Chains A and B, each alone.
Chain A
């Protein structure tokens, strides 16, 4: 997957283009698009030239300062009063807004990289025209160039807007957050902060947050395994039950379960939290039946951590089993039946057929999506946040409760009282590393992700 393809050697080196090209060709090493303009490819030439002019103007007026500020993240770290000699008065200097400096600095770097890419595009197009001219072939006209955007270069046309969107709203924020992990952006440094290297990592892995990080990490992994395994296993069983011989109105039964999955989670989980409350309906029902004499604490702040964790896993089964039931139903319907029939003739009972034939086959087909579900469960924000909000709180933890996962803790560190933005960025990176490790293991063991 990560192998590099061999590129065919270009028909002419840039050195040749430079030494043997005409004036316009040479010029396009400095003024992008001049070769295209000389060949009457107006739209391309003007676009490239304008891009260069705009870039240089931007770079001189704000690009340089944006990038140079990156190294210090702003000169003024604290609010201070200084004497201004020119005006002869005391003035208050506000601390520099490091968040914006970092953001614009990164944006400037991305723009520079985009410009370098555009420059390479310009050189390639120049080379192409040079080769065509040298070999006496037809150089594309302006009209043909534009038509090409909808034919052999359709991918450029269709990918432009999505890539701009991804750059601005996914890549830039992600890089921003990664860099934040190497600063001291927290409650003590809310406006101006500076680079501190791996200090925040140290805090999380061995400092004051490590007493929370490792237990929460442990519970996150236990949760992810338990949540994935229970929903998968019981989902398969439920699918087999509905698909078994003699059950009528299969679609109706499936729909009943699917409804639970289809209700928006902020509705079903918030209401589930009320349902399971100390004064909630479930306790009421159980007391009316006479199974319990006094209400139980399931997920509220006074619940025991173990009960709360088990309840969360069970509620997750309520939400998750319908999905895995749906998926395994589709797989079961497509399974070859000859093996099962042969086994039945040999006298295997239903349990043996399930254990030795059906289940391994489903497991084989579903392995890749199981890994995805596992990673999804590591990041399962909704279930914990809406259901328990991390409760019951744990005194030994720093800003987290007993049912908090790494992601909900990350959220608390950012938006809660703690305001340790750098630590939450570190958590994000660690979650990424965990997900990446599990994905890599999965990709090595399944063929399903290989390119067709």
Chain B
């Protein structure tokens, strides 16, 4: 009996040890990023793990740098992401609800088209989008917003999976009581879908903060750094500094840390919805 307990304890110690090693391996690069943002450096390169000298200058520098206006980037991104969040959430939830709850002749063709469209690599269409927006004279933040919002109707999968799990009998009860479909949507199903709305809104909100490809193509033509969003601005910063002058590298890291912290917190908060969305789709099997 004693040897069994010993074996059990040994197994637990071994598992803890493994877990600690893995956790350290995973978190080490992240810690390095944070350390690098505090490191004093003028070589444009952070080659040590532990900084030789700690400094706050990078954070002060990134906020006062006129070449890379971080504050404008944050404001731009905030405006785009809030508008995109409101409009996309409305569109996505509408489509998801309609596809899940209502029956009409165009329903199946729409889902099949959405499936097919989803298989084309997303930025294959970027040249076309560029010319469409150029034609509309909208190579600016407004055009970027249109791009983010334009595809919102196709991102309905997770929300539709959620609506599929809400019992239909609730709708039927409301219908017998004389509610119209709009009333059922607004007053019965939407309140039940609050977590889903939060998830959809957060996803739409985070998008502009992490996208550097579309924003780069649409905003770079203006050549005015003040019109950039944060992801493209920061990406552009390191992209430009990689080859020649690398004086701003540590400031770039500081900017990244400033942005990464709120997004990381939002993501950790969202993980439950994300998992539920994936497994809800899978459990139907």
Q: Which of B84-105 contact A (CB under 8 A)?
A: 91, 94-95, 97-98, 102, 104
Q: Which residues does chain A contribute within 8 Å of B61, judged by CB atoms?
A: none
Residue B150 lies at the interface, judged by CB distance under 8 Å to chain A: yes
A150 contacts B181, C-beta separation under 8 Å: yes
Q: Which residues does chain B contribute within 8 Å of A169, judged by CB atoms?
A: 129, 132, 146-147, 150-151
Given the known inter-chain contacts A155-B104, A452-B164, please indicate yes or no for A247 contacting B263, CB distance below 8 A. Answer: no
Contact with A along B109-144 (1 / 0, CB 8 A): 010100111011111111111011001000000000
Residue B80 lies at the interface, judged by CB distance under 8 Å to chain A: no
Query: Within the assembled complex, what's the spacing in Å between the Cα atoms of A169 and B150?
Result: 5
Q: Which of B170-201 contact A (CB under 8 A)?
A: 180-182, 185
Closest CB of chain A to B31's CB: distance in Å? 10
Q: Which residues does chain B contribute within 8 Å of A192, judged by CB atoms?
A: none
Closest CB of chain B to A55's CB: distance in Å? 20
Query: Which of A238, A366, A431 sits near B22, CB closer than 8 Å?
Result: A238
Closest CB of chain B to A331's CB: distance in Å? 6
Other A-B contacts than A155-B107, A169-B132, 10 sampled, CB-CB below 8 A, are: A151-B180, A154-B98, A154-B102, A169-B150, A174-B125, A271-B256, A365-B279, A366-B282, A369-B281, A428-B124
Residues of chain B at the chain A interface (Cβ within 8 Å): 8, 11-12, 15-16, 18-19, 22-23, 26-27, 29-30, 32-33, 36, 45-49, 91, 94-95, 97-98, 102, 104, 106-108, 110, 112, 115-117, 119-129, 131-132, 135, 146-147, 149-154, 164, 180-182, 185, 209-210, 212-213, 217, 231, 234-235, 238, 253, 256, 259-260, 263-268, 271, 274-276, 278-279, 281-285
A279 contacts B47, C-beta separation under 8 Å: yes
B30 contacts A268, C-beta separation under 8 Å: yes
Query: Within the assembled complex, what's the spacing in Å between the Cα atoms of A439 and B115?
Result: 10
Q: Which residues does chain A contribute within 8 Å of B117, judged by CB atoms?
A: 166, 170-171, 174
A258 contacts B268, C-beta separation under 8 Å: yes
B154 contacts A258, C-beta separation under 8 Å: no
Q: Which residues does chain B contribute within 8 Å of A436, judged by CB atoms?
A: 116, 119
Q: Which residues does chain A contribute within 8 Å of B209, judged by CB atoms?
A: 264
What are 12 A-to-B residue pairs whose CB atoms are below 8 Å?
A154-B181, A159-B110, A170-B154, A176-B127, A246-B15, A247-B15, A262-B271, A263-B263, A265-B210, A267-B234, A271-B29, A448-B281
Closest CB of chain A to B45's CB: distance in Å? 6
Residue A274 lies at the interface, judged by CB distance under 8 Å to chain B: yes
A159 contacts B15, C-beta separation under 8 Å: no
Residue A285 lies at the interface, judged by CB distance under 8 Å to chain B: yes
Q: Which residues does chain A contribute within 8 Å of B234, judged by CB atoms?
A: 266-267
Tell me the dominant secondary structure on chain A's binding face: helix
Query: Within the assembled complex, what's the spacing in Å between the Cα atoms of A411 and B125?
Result: 11
Residue A270 lies at the interface, judged by CB distance under 8 Å to chain B: yes
B275 contacts A327, C-beta separation under 8 Å: yes
Residue A407 lies at the interface, judged by CB distance under 8 Å to chain B: yes
Query: Within the assembled complex, what's the spacing in Å between the Cα atoms of A381 and B124?
Result: 12
Residues of chain A at the chain B interface (Cβ within 8 Å): 1-2, 5, 99-100, 103, 147, 150-152, 154-159, 161-163, 165-166, 168-174, 176-177, 180, 238, 241-242, 244, 246-247, 253, 255-268, 270-272, 274-275, 277, 279-281, 283-285, 318, 322, 326-327, 329-331, 334, 364-369, 375, 379, 381, 407, 410-411, 414-415, 421, 424-425, 428, 431-432, 435-436, 439, 446-448, 450-452
Query: Which of B19, B150, B284 sits near A170, CB closer than 8 Å?
Result: B150
Q: Which residues does chain A contribute within 8 Å of B32, judged by CB atoms?
A: 271, 275, 281
Q: Which residues does chain B contribute within 8 Å of A365, judged by CB atoms?
A: 279, 282-283, 285
B123 contacts A381, C-beta separation under 8 Å: yes
A162 contacts B95, C-beta separation under 8 Å: yes
Given the known inter-chain contacts A158-B95, A166-B150, A259-B30, please indicate yes or no for A448 contacting B127, CB distance below 8 A. Answer: no
B26 contacts A330, C-beta separation under 8 Å: no
**Quick one: which of B27, B149, B256, B266 has the most chain A CB within 10 A?**
B256
Q: Which residues does chain B contribute within 8 Å of A262, judged by CB atoms?
A: 263-268, 271
Given the known inter-chain contacts A103-B131, A247-B15, A281-B47, please indicate yes or no for A266 contacting B210, CB distance below 8 A. Answer: yes
Q: Which residues does chain A contribute within 8 Å of B8, judged by CB atoms?
A: 246
Query: Within the assembled complex, what's the spacing in Å between the Cα atoms of A167 and B104?
Result: 20
B128 contacts A177, C-beta separation under 8 Å: yes
A165 contacts B153, C-beta separation under 8 Å: yes
Query: Which residue of A has the minimal Cβ distance to B212?
Result: A266
B102 contacts A155, C-beta separation under 8 Å: yes
Query: Which residue of A has the minimal Cβ distance to B150?
Result: A169
B260 contacts A165, C-beta separation under 8 Å: no
Given the known inter-chain contacts A262-B263, A262-B267, A284-B47, please indicate yes or no for A367 contacting B285, CB distance below 8 A. Answer: yes
